[in-house]
Amino acid sequence: MLRALLLENLHPHARTILEASGFEVETRTGALDESELIDALDGVHLLGIRSKTNVTARVLESAPSLITLGAFCIGTNQIDLRTAAERGVATFNAPFQNTRSVVEIALAEIIALTRRLTDRNAEMHAGVWNKSAEGAHEVRGRTLGIVGYGNIGTQLSVVAESLGMSVAFYNTSEKLALGNARRMGSLEELLEVADVVTLHVDGRKGNAGLFGAEQFARMKPGALFLNLSRGFVIDTAALREAILSGHLGGASIDVFPQEPKRKGDAFESDLRGLPNVILTPHIGGSTEEAQEAIGTFVANKLRDYVSTGSTTLSVNLPNLALEQTTGVARIAHLHRNTPGVLAAVNNTLAQHGVNIEGQLLATRGELGYVVTDIGSPLPDGVTEALAAMDQTVRLRVLA
């Protein structure tokens, strides 16, 4: 019986899909720390997490039965992807499924901050009637600066233009500008023209500390700032100073350098209590629609990898799109990418009298992945011989 462990309140569809595929599924509501996770993974073949559970090298090295790992979110910086690959643990995420949800919350926050709805709301709850247009503006005609022009940034660009905003963007790699968006040559150039700056960068280590006192100082007086990407990319103390000094007109922050692991835990931040600042608990992609789509997408990827060996959209293994085997058995051989591996695999099969019905090979950096369909039962000794190859990382036989 294959066992799956799903953490952090994943959508019920994930459990349904895996159980229908024959998995024994255990679910837990919160994240686990390193030691807890090591204990929980004893005998587990499939792990599903979101952003709060860190899958370290120590965790992976302590989980020999783990076959595949799913991040039911966009980011994978909470996972040691290199170690996972070295141990043959195929890892998948959900790169597109919550894009619309993040775009919509970003637009809602831009409008709320521009109209200073945060201040008016707080005053009303305090019993103060302040019917005034002072400090409130339309978003139409204002310039939105998008840092990170990927799936979220591009869709936000299109929708913001439909509201009458002018869009400028900065991306470290070449990206096609959509609509009337303007590509800026540097981050500094973008900061000088944007009335609203929103970050949509990925979780690579190079983005740590991307935005600090220098960048806030370069922004236009009264400009607004949003971060719905990663908590470690901004200096929150510098943002606090920029707000309190009046240099920035407001901010909305959804991600933080340190976040509570479980719902209901205490939240501490030097951004609490600031005027015209929206703080949300990492819910940019947390709509029921997005979570259902993510649960379905990632669970299907994990199921397909276990049953067919398909690695399409894996973030750490060579990608092969595979259907159900057409033969009697399928041999999935993950190996170190050195010359002659494919010939060695085929020579081993030939020596054991195995007839190949179909074969596919893909490589990715230091790893190669060859999947072979055979037309007869595996003879004794063939799997042992393949597993004993110096280059073998992981060998799986799928009936």
By annotation, the residues acting in catalysis are 230, 259, 282
Question: What is the rounded CA–CA span in Å between residue 215 and residue 200?
Answer: 16
DSSP 375-394: SSPPPTTHHHHHHTSTTEEE
Question: What is the rounded CA–CA span in Å between residue 133 and residue 153?
Answer: 30
Q: In what order do the strands lie in the sheet with 24-27?
A: 24-27, 3-6, 46-49, 68-71, 90-92
| 3-state SS assignment for residue 130 | coil
| 3-state SS assignment for residue 269 | coil
| 3-state SS assignment for residue 194 | coil
Q: In what order do the strands lie in the sheet with 196-199?
A: 182-183, 166-170, 143-147, 196-199, 223-227, 248-253, 277-279
DSSP 206-255: GGTT-B-HHHHHHSPTTEEEEE-S-GGGB-HHHHHHHHHTTSEEEEEE--
Structure-token pair, residue 169: 């963007």
Q: What angle do CA 145, 315, 26 make, to 5 degrees?
A: 110
- Within 10 Å of residue 119's Cβ, how many Cβ atoms? 17
Q: Which amino acid is at 3?
A: R
Question: What is the rounded CA–CA span in Å between residue 331 and residue 371?
Answer: 6
